[in-house]
Amino acid sequence: MNILVLNCGSSSLKFQIIETDLELFEKNEDKQKAKGLIERIGSQSLVTYQATGKPAVKQATPLRDHRQALDHVIRWMISSEAQIPGIHSLADIHAVGHRVVHGAEHFTKSAVIDEQVIGGIEDCIGLAPLHNPANLKGIYAARELLGGGIPQVAVFDTSFHSTMPETSYLYALPYQLYRRHKIRRYGFHGTSHRYVAFRYRQLTGKTKEETNVITLHLGNGCSACAIKQGESFDTSMGMTPLEGLVMGTRGGDLDPSVIEFLAHKEGMSLSEIDALLNKQSGLLGLSGLTNDMRDLLDEEREHQDRRATLAIDIFAQRVKKYIGAYFAELGNVESIIFAGGIGENSPTVRRRILAGLEWLGVETDDNLNAKITGGKEGVISKESSRVKTFVIPTNEELLIARDTVRCVKDAPRRW
């Protein structure tokens, strides 16, 4: 089946076309046929399209809203210019898979979209006021442009973490606040943690029950996940993606009293503080330079910039702290798995995170570590290491496509 995977942000639309099926997925032979990105929807939009194996096409064009943006994508997809194998008309798209950020307690797994599911996604808007409305725009646009006959599936960032026990997801606040407002930890990046854990099982031949690992998604947003018997037991992001690790522009864990103190000292409003915590903190805030790890590593190497080093060190120490906590929670960790732009590409950051963990049985092989970058997959720990360390490039779009097929065919979930 050809699946159109859509990931809509407030002013962006990312897509991929992936050919997959239950058999292709078993053999890991799914095929990405095309991908693209539209940015700055609502003004002069920047469009990048690429059929797999061909050069990317870039253009600027005014696109008013997500509907117009998706219309642009569809026209390109079926055009003779794109020449995507097997895609000649709308009938060649068999289903659409949508990334949806927040499913709260409504959605513990992916769901074929109908009126009830749309209502559920709307109910979660309060918890993800920026993301869920954008995801809904993509759903409405796809329905309108592709017609009701093409099934659509919602795949939630939160649902993998729905297996967390109360002891992991409850904040120690008055319990009635959880009852009244569902204030709790939900966790995000679930699609990535789930993809990586499943790929780990494919690589190692482990059963779900044998899978006790720590997965680290380190990109612009960062989160760690403690996976017990193949299911999420704990994760570092909370009610929103702000909690946990240091990220590009988010600071992660913080004493909540800082908020009132800041309001008092700096005369800031709550929404200004929210923007500061989400957009001006993390690597950017600490370094005063950039949210981009690659640039920070360059600054450190070329100019010995002290604050760049500090930002990277604090980033690495926070990840280390979560690894330690998850060892304590899981007991028998077999492997630590790195994913995301930083996790997949930076041997230096991986080394800084893993340094000093030898006493936990984590021994890094510096040669292997240095070799695995740029989308490669493999082990970076020594043969003698009791706990193995892997780099497994994440592929959230592929998991969305596979889940879409599974839901449309009503096949059982195996991972």
Among 297, 325, 360, 368, binds ligand ADP (CB under 6 A): 297
58 near ligand ADP, rule: CB under 6 A:
no
For this structure, is 157 an active site residue?
Answer: yes
285 near ligand ADP, rule: CB under 6 A:
no
Name the residue nearer to ligand ADP (CB basis): 136 or 312.
312
Among 239, 340, 364, 400, binds ligand ADP (CB under 6 A): 340
372 near ligand ADP, rule: CB under 6 A:
no
Between CA 118 and CA 299 the distance in angstroms is: 46
Of the candidate spans 64-72, 168-176, 288-296, 401-409, the one that interacts with ligand ADP by CB under 6 A turns out to be 288-296
Among 64, 294, 306, 414, binds ligand ADP (CB under 6 A): 294
Between CA 4 and CA 20 the distance in angstroms is: 11
> Which residues have CB under 8 Å from 110's CB, separation 6+?
153, 154, 155, 156, 159, 403, 404, 406, 407
Tokens 């120490």 sit on residue: 317
Name the residue nearer to ligand ADP (CB basis): 2 or 236.
236
Is the Cβ–Cβ distance between 297 and 311 less than 8 Å? Answer: no
Least distance (Å) between residue 402 CB and ligand ADP = 19
377 near ligand ADP, rule: CB under 6 A:
no
244 near ligand ADP, rule: CB under 6 A:
no
- At residue 115, φ and ψ (nearest 5 deg) are -60, -35
Least distance (Å) between residue 373 CB and ligand ADP = 6
Is the Cβ–Cβ distance between 53 and 75 less than 8 Å? Answer: no
Name the residue nearer to ligand ADP (CB basis): 212 or 346.
346
Among 123, 292, 329, 363, binds ligand ADP (CB under 6 A): 292
Single-letter residue type at 157: D
- At residue 346, φ and ψ (nearest 5 deg) are -115, 95
Q: Is the dihedral of CA 156, 120, 411, 93 positive or negative?
A: negative
Query: Catalytic: which of 21, 30, 157, 234?
Result: 157
Name the residue nearer to ligand ADP (CB basis): 191 or 346.
346
248 near ligand ADP, rule: CB under 6 A:
yes
> Which residues have CB under 8 Å from 339's CB, separation 6+?
192, 196, 215, 216, 217, 218, 391, 392, 393, 394
Return the biggest CA–CA distance within the chain. 61
What residue number has its CB nearest to ligand ADP? 341
Given the rule CB under 6 A, which residues bind ligand ADP? Answer: 219-221, 248, 292-294, 297, 340-342, 345-346
Residues serving a catalytic function are 157
